[in-house]
Structure 1
Amino acid sequence: MDRGIAQLMDPETASLRSAERKIRQAQAQQIRQILTYVSRVENRSAVEDGSSHLTSAPLPPGAPDAPVEARRAAVLHAAQALQASEHYVGELVAAASLAQERLPRTWDSFCQGRIGVQHLLQMARSSLTLLSPENVALLDQRGCAYAEEHTPGELAAWLRRFIAAREPEAAARRNQEAQRERRVSVTHLEDGVSLLTALLPTVTAEQIRRRLNAVARSPQQAIPHDPSVVPEAAGAEDPSSTGPDLPASRGAGDTRTLEQRTADLLAGWLLSGRGAQERPADVSVGLLVPLETLSGDAEAPALSRDRSFTLPAQVVRRLLGHSGTRVTWYELGVRNAEALGSDTQDPDVLSVRYRGRFVPKILREAIRFRDGTCQAPGCQVPAENCDIDHQRPWRDSGRDGAGGQTEGQNLWTLCRRHHLLKTAGHLPPPTDRSAAPATGRPSAMPTAVRAAA
């Protein structure tokens, strides 16, 4: 794996992998049949349309385009045969046609069963975003190799990084256009609940998410209950139980889940028109920013700490120059420990060994920037929501002097779920952490951009 992770390659799952590949090959064969059918209908329509023009007057303005309508009809009939929606089958046809034309390596990998339908759809959509044919060819080469070893979710994040890095100016223009569409909408669902949706700039949305999460997680923070919600402990005939008598903090016995506390907190903030009197919360947004971007010598985008999104250079510079932004700088060179000379005056924080079990704050930040997400295969839980775990337990540090130390090489981020798996012996740590991740980390100076108060 690209992050130096030990693959969970249980020999007993070999049959599952083989079965999955056969399923993918069957899906590829089905899509090839759909393409053949659509092409046959289009060709038949073109022949009929051509012969009709020989014997009749030209079509009036606004008349249906016969080849286009024939393609739509073919998609409709194919969707009926598959018991699928026209939209989905249309996406399959478009993606497969694009891959055949522009992404030959990706198409071959799909036909061989090495990648799945979702991988193919994502690669095809991304090829349309790129403007340069050279970048499309590079996408076909690098993206296909990445897709063969990663989940669709991981591929989606990789594609966002790739496109922003290869064509930063175009990405910046799309960012400006997308921000003009910012809005809030409400969709009423069944059973008395509704979906509140806000389309916001990514940094703004990330700050809101982190602020809500930090306050809702606090065991001391009192969060008012939503008066529209009847607690499970109370009957519908006792609406007064939604009042101030219910415990509002975890320390006082609040039994709401984190998601419920977060939803009630958001509702309270929006309805009151002011922030709750919460304790100070760390709502920093970690960014990896190349020095050339900061100086204006390059337009390379910034990368979020968890590698899930990028920001155009002009957005980063505007954000850093805003009077309401508080900035904490961390210059963390992520290099192999053996590459550092003995006369290094400012050693890489990841190469320093600390005494004791608990990880100092600056090393925690370095580990989170380095890993980005939980290091279990396929997991995308952001590093800030993960535990900093000793790959070899700290208690082993005194046995042979070779492991269990509190140092970068022996530490990794694991979400609580995978931390428990590792503790139980089901997630072996990597045997080599020296290899640089293929997550696209630039040579950069990470910055933690703190939200305005």
Structure 2
Amino acid sequence: MATTTASMTEQLSDAVRWQARAEAYTIQTMLGCRDVEMARTALIESPLRRKIERSAIALTIGEATGMSESQIQLRLSIADRVREKTPQVWDAFIEGLIDFSRVRDISATIEKLHRPESIARLDNRVIAYATEHTGAELQQWLRRFVQRVEADLATERADAERANRHVSVTHGDDSMSWLNAYLPSHQAAAIEARLRKEARKAADPDDDRAVAQREADLLVAWCTSSEATTSAIDANIAVTVGADVLAGAAPGFAESTDGGWAVPAPWLADVIATGSTFWHRIVVDPVTDDVLSHEYVGRFAPDSLALALRFLHGVCQAPGCRVPSERCDLDHRIPHPVGPTNGDNMGPLCRRHHNLKGHGLLHWSTSPPKPPPAEPMVIELYPPVPPIAMEYVAA
């Protein structure tokens, strides 16, 4: 990178940090105003007058900042919660290491945690991640954190929320309406995958519909025609789940490979137990049967490796990019033929970031895959694939 460009990026980093510090200073000033007013009104003898004046504190701060009372109250409650329960997060905010949007997401996570030791663990770990990743990545990390450290309580919440599944129709203008469905995530993901695949199949030359229009028409056909629903769901979705969770030894979640959603593992077990034709289980033993440990001579990954890499990473590996891996190219970190065609040297990059890397404008900045856990990783797939006996012979 040119020296001038490096200097500009350093200036941008400094600007972002100063902006975060400015946000922290604003929040601190709001807290100071609130505390001063609370102390002043505490001296008012009349309880009614004291209550009235205190109710106007947020309004007074809002008038000075151009915000509504509800916005002020929300910021103050977030600040109080983070300052009291996660002091390391609060200090990082004051120093400009994280901005208020990240503080807000961390505060929402604190509300979901019920055990003091879980909150303390969050305080100790979240800053290292939040300072090195995008806001969207932090939100997914926080969701996974809750599901892992308090899996039992998170599972109870998911089971309770599942009872609220419903479909609603809202009629709008211009003869159009919204069809909304609040569904368990794994079911919604199956519907989404099927729509994407079916709508992108080769169409009749006279069919001038856009892909989005085809998806809408397919959904209507599936919902209104009995003939349209007879075909098996042809999707390709994977979730990962710990072996102890799968065995029922511990509560936990099955998570999509792109990190976009997760459901309690028993939900998937229930679906598999019905004999549905589009679920299948592949158990990957990281010690003896891990295909990622094999190296291939050719440039292009064989199907087994390509599928495993896409399920392993889930999304494009450029920092902050969320393009699903099935729509990405498989790129060599160290270019072929110097770099091997194996799991450690390959990963998905969307076409845009792949081109940028090819022109020397993007460098691999993500860490190599972490060593596999001690227990096997379980991947849930649909549709089912027949067992394949594979043997790799060294040249």
Tell me if TM exceeds 0.5.
Answer: yes
Which residue matches 1:36? 32
**Structure 2 CA distance, aligned partners of 1:293 and 1:177?**
20
| Cα shift at 1:392 | 3.7
**Structure 1 CA distance, aligned partners of 2:315 and 2:213?**
24
User: How many residues are paired up?
Assistant: 380
Which residue matches 1:416? 351
Q: 1:416 to 1:84 in 2, by over 3 A?
A: farther
Q: CA RMSD in A?
A: 2.9
Secondary structure of the 2:330 match is: strand
1:78-108 per-residue CA deviation (whole Å, 9 max, x = no partner) reads: 3333333433332211111101100101111
8 Å contact from structure 2 (residues 151, 253) kept in 1: yes
1:214-241 per-residue CA deviation (whole Å, 9 max, x = no partner) reads: 111222xxxxxxxxxxxxxxxxxxxxxx
Check if 1:260 corresponds to 2:213: yes
Aligned letter for 1:425?
A: G
Per the normalisation by structure 1, the TM-score is: 0.75
Check if 1:285 corresponds to 2:220: no
Which residue matches 1:354? 296
Deviates more, 1:443-452 or 1:128-137: 443-452
8 Å contact from structure 1 (residues 182, 198) kept in 2: yes
Which of 109, 114, 122 aligns to 2:92? It is 109
Q: 1:422 to 1:281 in 2, by over 3 A?
A: farther
**Structure 1 CA distance, aligned partners of 2:33 and 2:316?**
44
Aligned letter for 1:288?
A: T
8 Å contact from structure 1 (residues 286, 446) kept in 2: no
- Quick one: percent identity of the two aligned structures? 35
Secondary structure of the 2:15 match is: helix
Aligned letter for 1:24?
A: A
| Cα shift at 1:198 | 1.6
**Structure 2 CA distance, aligned partners of 1:272 and 1:442?**
48
1:389-418 per-residue CA deviation (whole Å, 9 max, x = no partner) reads: 233444xx1xxxx32x32112211112222
8 Å contact from structure 2 (residues 166, 183) kept in 1: yes
| Cα shift at 1:329 | 2.9
Deviates more, 1:159-168 or 1:372-381: 372-381
Aligned letter for 1:313?
A: A
8 Å contact from structure 1 (residues 369, 446) kept in 2: no
8 Å contact from structure 1 (residues 289, 444) kept in 2: no
1:95-132 per-residue CA deviation (whole Å, 9 max, x = no partner) reads: 11101100101111111111111100010110011011
Q: 1:189 to 1:79 in 2, by over 3 A?
A: farther
Q: 1:311 to 1:37 in 2, by over 3 A?
A: same
Which residue matches 1:179? 162
| Cα shift at 1:190 | 6.2
1:148-170 per-residue CA deviation (whole Å, 9 max, x = no partner) reads: 11111111100110100111110
| Cα shift at 1:207 | 0.7
How is 1:179-198 mapped onto 2 (pairs within 5 angstroms)?
179-187=162-170, 193-198=176-181
Aligned letter for 2:59?
A: L
Which residue matches 1:156? 139
**Structure 2 CA distance, aligned partners of 1:108 and 1:253?**
62
Structure number, greater radius of gyration: 1
Check if 1:387 corresponds to 2:329: yes
**Structure 2 CA distance, aligned partners of 1:148 and 1:184?**
39
8 Å contact from structure 2 (residues 243, 378) kept in 1: no
| Cα shift at 1:432 | 6.6
1:175-200 per-residue CA deviation (whole Å, 9 max, x = no partner) reads: 01211222223445666654432211
| Cα shift at 1:429 | 2.9
**Structure 1 CA distance, aligned partners of 2:122 and 2:191?**
33
Aligned letter for 2:205?
A: A
Secondary structure of the 1:162 match is: helix
**Structure 2 CA distance, aligned partners of 1:122 and 1:298?**
27
Aligned letter for 1:37?
A: C
Secondary structure of the 1:203 match is: helix
**Structure 2 CA distance, aligned partners of 1:421 and 1:448?**
33
1:326-362 per-residue CA deviation (whole Å, 9 max, x = no partner) reads: 433333355xxxxx7xxxxx45211212233332222
Which residue matches 1:135? 118
Secondary structure of the 1:377 match is: coil
Deviates more, 1:186-195 or 1:113-122: 186-195
Which residue matches 1:93? 76
Secondary structure of the 1:259 match is: helix
Q: 1:284 to 1:362 in 2, by over 3 A?
A: same
Q: 1:78 to 1:262 in 2, by over 3 A?
A: farther
Secondary structure of the 2:279 match is: strand
Higher relative contact order (CA 8 A, sep 6+): 1
How is 1:211-222 mapped onto 2 (pairs within 5 angstroms)?
211-219=194-202
Gaps of 5+ in 2: 385-395
8 Å contact from structure 2 (residues 292, 305) kept in 1: yes
How is 1:368-383 mapped onto 2 (pairs within 5 angstroms)?
368-383=310-325
How is 1:230-269 mapped onto 2 (pairs within 5 angstroms)?
249=203, 252=205, 254-269=207-222
8 Å contact from structure 2 (residues 98, 131) kept in 1: yes
Which of 235, 244, 254 aligns to 1:302? It is 254
8 Å contact from structure 2 (residues 309, 348) kept in 1: yes
Aligned letter for 1:310?
A: A
